[in-house]
Amino acid sequence: MIDHKDKNINKIAMPSAKKIIEEKNLDILDIAGTGFDGRVTKGDVLLYLNQIKGIKKPEVENLSNKNIKNERKGNGMDVLVPVLGESVVEATVSKWIKKQGDFVEVDEPIVELETDKVTLEVPAATSGILDNLAVSEGDTVEVGALLAMIVAGEKTDQNSKTSKTQEPKISEEPKNIPEKVEKTQTTTNSGFVEEFADKSLEERVPMSRLRQAIARRLKEAQNTAAMLTTYNEVDMSALMEMRKNYQDSFEKKNGVRLGYMSFFVKASIDALKQFPAVNAEIDSNDIVYKNYYNIGVAVGTSQGLVVPVLKNADKMSFGETELSISNFGKKAKDGSLGINDMAGGTFTISNGGVYGSLMSSPILNPPQSGILGMHKIQNRPVAIDNQIQIRPMMYLALSYDHRIIDGREAVSFLVRIKEIIEDPRRLVVGA
């Protein structure tokens, strides 16, 4: 980590945050840091600036970026965009759950916001009438921005019912089905001409906001990073034998099955400590080395890919790691993952093998600089001591940002993971 410290205080600002602080002539002591060890991030500064718009400095001395509180003004209370997680400074208003003039109870959901990672509902901090809707569905809002106001009012028959959009009436008359599909000629986006196109057999479905966000972030990763992928293969025999020998006792002690992912998490942390550039990120013209290990585990859902994060995974036991991964999988399926579950990752592991993938090139999860791809275990003939043997093999892929990670580091990183997986005892003895 590159520390940027003010000469008069011990508070630390990240490079991009420090730049804004200097440009705006701000006092870092007024800004609450949400980064590692209380470091002030760019998002913290933007949030602070958003909070003090139109407010005199003495009035904001006690404001906290960690917990944005909806401020009461007169007989009303502002509803603000909450903190969305580390490095997440904006969201999209996906849906107003309550409408102008509706009566809302305390903790009742008012509006639904979407970020690149998750969908969340903003609850009412007080009871009253929803008024002064400041944004519309589809608008992009920053952390701390005004969403609406809740004013004092009593519940009545008129405002107790949330207005609902009426469903369009379905015509009872059957559609005329053409006896013959006429020959048509259509030019597609790719430039090819399709003949005999029957448009009645096509289905056009709008992309969800989450899918749009995923598409945008993945494309940004390709456009921004100098992304390169290196490959290796690993003999899974030793790990499979160890798992077989200790599966029953492990499950009895920890209440969860022993999987392969916990070994790859531990192996990745070991390799990250040896090659810290893989655990770093680029911030403006600085390289930020992260001396903590928050490992993201990619999970596929019906709505898209999400990456919950194992915070301080280096301090977790194998049992804690497997249990956390299992809980993340359950929460991903029922859509209960929160912002905090997916914030702060420093390195990601993706397992395409669960879907049968034999080989792939994973795409970086910005602003991270490395992602490990696991794949299907397949019995293949390999040369062992100049003899052909059948072994359970897995292809590994490491995609990395070549701007800060050299090829030698990337290859050595992957070789280190291979060494540990092929001899898991190394994790115990530190060899």
We report the CATH number of the domain holding residue 124 as 2.40.50.100
- What's the pLDDT tens digit per position in 72-83? 555 678 888 887
pLDDT tens-digit series, residues 100-116: 888 888 888 889 888 76
Beta bridge partners of 370: 400
In a domain? residue 243: yes
Looking at the structure, tell me whether residues 129 and 140 fall in a common domain: yes
Q: Which domain holds residue 278?
A: 225-429
In 3D, which of 310, 375, 395 has the Cα closest to residue 348? 310
Q: For 31-65, what is each residue's pLDDT tens digit?
A: 877 665 677 777 677 777 766 654 433 333 333 33
Q: Are residues 151 and 12 in the same domain?
A: no
pLDDT tens profile 122-164: 888 888 898 888 888 888 888 788 888 888 877 776 665 544 4
DSSP sequence for 227-269: EEEEEEEEE-HHHHHHHHHHHHHHHHHHSS---SHHHHHHHHH
Task: Write out pLDDT tens, residues 237-287.
Answer: 999 999 999 999 999 999 999 999 999 999 999 999 999 999 999 988 899
**pLDDT band per the 50, 70, 90 thresholds, residue 4:** very low
Q: Which residues contact 400 (CB under 8 A, 6 or more apart)?
A: 227, 228, 229, 230, 278, 364, 369, 370, 371, 410
Query: What distance in Å separates the CA atoms of residue 79 and residue 63, rounded to the nearest whole number?
Result: 15
Please determine, for residue 1, whether its predicted confidence score (pLDDT) is greater than 70: no
Q: 80 and 49: one domain?
A: no
What share of the chain in percent tops pLDDT 90?
36
- In terms of domains, do 8 and 40 share one? yes
- pLDDT value at residue 59: 37
Average pLDDT, the chain: 80
Closest to 147 measured CA to CA, from 104, 194, 207, 192:
104
Residues 268 and 413 in one domain: yes
Q: Is 185 among the domain residues? A: no
Q: Would 362 be classed as within a structural domain?
A: yes
Q: At 364, is the secondary structure helix, strand, or coil? A: coil
Q: Does residue 236 sit within a domain?
A: yes
Specify whether the CB–CB gap between 218 and 371 falls below 8 A: no
Verify that 52 and 148 share a domain, yes or no: no
- At 205, is the pLDDT very low, low, confident or very high (cuts 50, 70, 90)? confident
- For the chain, what is the largest distance between any 2 Cα atoms, rounded to a whole number of angstroms? 84
Q: Find the CATH number of the domain harbouring 364.
A: 3.30.559.10
Q: If you search the block for the tokens 């994060």, which residue do you land on?
A: 309
Torsion angles phi and psi, residue 94, rounded to 5: -85, -35
pLDDT at residue 211 is higher than 80: no
CA distance 428 to 431: 8
Same domain, 57 and 86: no
Together in a domain, 56 and 105: no
Torsion sign over Cα 35, 219, 277, 279:
positive
- 191 within 8 A of 185, measured Cβ to Cβ: no
Residue type, 410: A
The rounded distance, in Å, linking the Cα atoms of 348 and 25 is 37
pLDDT at site 415: 97
Q: Which amino acid makes up residue 144?
A: G
Which alpha helices (DSSP H) does 14-60 contain, by range?
15-23, 42-51
Whether the CB-CB separation of 86 and 343 falls below 8 Å is answered with yes
The per-residue pLDDT for 195 is 59
Judge whether 339 lies within some domain.
yes
Q: How far apart are CA 215 and CA 251, in angstroms?
A: 38
Number of domains in the chain: 3
* 191 has a pLDDT exceeding 60: no
Q: Is the pLDDT of residue 220 over 80?
A: no
Kindly tell me if the per-residue pLDDT of 166 is higher than 50: no
- 347 with 388, same domain: the answer is yes
Name the pLDDT band for 303 (thresholds 50, 70, 90).
Answer: low
Same domain, 305 and 419: yes
Lowest-confidence segment of 143-147, 181-185, 410-414, 424-428 by average pLDDT: 181-185
Which of residues 66, 89, 113 is at a domain's end? 66
Listed residues 138, 160, 182: the one ending a domain: 160
Which residues are known to be catalytic? 402, 406
Distance, in Å, from the CA atom of 246 to the CA atom of 261, rounded to the nearest integer, reads 15
Token pair for 266: 């531990």
Rg (CA), the chain: 26
Residue 270 phi, psi (nearest 5): -60, -45
- pLDDT (mean) for 4-33: 72
Token reading at 93: 């208003």
216 part of a folded domain: no
Confirm whether 136 is domain-assigned: yes
Three-state DSSP class for residue 225:
coil
- The sign of the dihedral angle between the CA atoms of 24, 26, 32, 35 is positive
Question: Looking at 105, 129, 160, which one is the last position of a domain?
Answer: 160
Residue given tokens 């519309």 in the structure block: 136
Query: Is residue 6 located within the same domain as residue 153?
Result: no
CATH number of the CATH domain containing 35: 4.10.320.10
Give the CA distances from residue 401 to residues 229, 305, 365, in Å, rounded to whole numbers and listed in that order: 9, 21, 11
Q: Convert 108-130 to b/e letters by CB count within 10 Å (16 or more is b).
A: bebbbbbbbbbbbebbbbbbbbb
Q: Is the peptide bond before 362 cis (omega within 30 degrees of 0)?
A: no
Range of weakest confidence among 210-224, 255-269, 310-324, 372-386: 210-224
Question: Residue 74 falls within a domain, yes or no?
Answer: yes
404-to-108, 397, 407 alpha-carbon distances in Å: 46, 18, 10
Q: Are 113 and 8 in a shared domain?
A: no
The 3-class SS string of 59-93 reads HHCCCCCCCCCCCEECCEEEEECCCCCCCCCEEEE
- Please name which of 149, 143, 146, 139 lies closest in space to residue 49, comparing C-alpha atoms: 143
